[in-house]
Structure 1
Amino acid sequence: MRGAAATVYEQAGGERTFTLIVERFYSDVANDPVLRPLYGPDEEELWRAAEHLRLFLIQYWGGPTWYSDQRGHPRLRMRHAPFSIGHAEREAWLRHMTAAVESVDLQPQIREAFLDYFESAALAMMNRADPYASRA
């Protein structure tokens, strides 16, 4: 009998890959005029959020359950509810996350799975209607 199939976490390269993605993403967010204000003036808050994202992604893609062990159920919509997230925030977030994913060496099918997930997640986190966003 063969061993269990490798998780996406393992296929992607494990903890190191997710750390690289999150470091790249938050390095870009730190300088983004749309996203940086969401984290407040405290630099530590930005890097706390980075660690939360890193742990969440590791768990979501089949790695250790460090996120839930520390923070409980992810409840992403609830955790993002205090932040005003409209079209501009979603697009900026997705642009930086796409660049972060593309900055690491991934198998094409894993890269595509990550980008598909982030596209859906970014849409799901929107909580503010932008009346003119769809009018171009």
Structure 2
Amino acid sequence: MTPYEALGGAPVLREFTQRFYALMDELPEAKACRDIHPKDLTRSEEKLFEFLSGWLGGPPLFTEKYGPPMLRRRHFPAKIGTAEADGWLLCFRQAWGEVMRDHKLGEALLPQVEALGRHMINQS
């Protein structure tokens, strides 16, 4: 079973990505991260959903639309420092804790997400 299947597939993943971006608007600690995003988060939420779908072993939606993720390159135009990465990771961890029911899956995946979030930092 893939992580995508274990978490409940598209419906649960969509609930997660929607909650993730709602938290970005709600949490003051995420302000630096929110500030580098567009005013309307609809497209950002869709891209995260598409990326995570493939990354978690589900349909490779992002790759089918945009090609290989190359996340650091795609995010390089945004000035991402520690505050931005911290805010993004806070939203990810909190949304995960609220939406996902498989805590063992989180124990396996969240360290990878943490490393990915830190890898996006391109400013001192």
Q: TM-score, normalised by structure 1?
A: 0.83
Q: Distance in 1 between matches of 2:121 and 2:110?
A: 17
- Unpaired runs of at least 5, structure 1: 1-5, 130-136
> Does residue 125 of the first structure (1) align with residue 120 of the second (2)?
yes
1:111 aligns with: 106
Percent identical among aligned pairs is 32
2:117 aligned partner, one-letter code: A
Asked if the contact 1:87/1:126 (under 8 Å) is kept, the reply is: yes
Greater Rg by CA = 1
Structure 1 stretches of at least 4 aligned residues deviating more than 2 Å after TM superposition: 30-33
1:41-60 matched pairs, under 5 angstroms: 41=39, 43=40, 46-60=41-55
Displacement of 1:35 in angstroms is 1.8
1:85 aligned partner, one-letter code: I
1:132 aligns with: none
2:90 aligns with: 95
Which structure: greater helix fraction? 2
Displacement of 1:66 in angstroms is 1.2
Q: Distance in 1 between matches of 2:24 and 2:38?
A: 12
Q: Distance in 2 between matches of 1:40 and 1:47?
A: 9
> Does residue 80 of the first structure (1) align with residue 80 of the second (2)?
no
RMSD of aligned alpha carbons = 1.3
Q: Distance in 2 between matches of 1:99 and 1:67?
A: 24
Name the count of aligned residue pairs.
121
Asked if the contact 1:101/1:114 (under 8 Å) is kept, the reply is: no
Q: TM-score, normalised by structure 2?
A: 0.90
Q: Distance in 1 between matches of 2:46 and 2:7?
A: 18
2:37 aligns with: 39
1:114 aligned partner, one-letter code: L
Displacement of 1:105 in angstroms is 3.4
| Deviations, residues 50-72 of structure 1 (Å, cap 9, x unaligned) | 10000100100100111111111
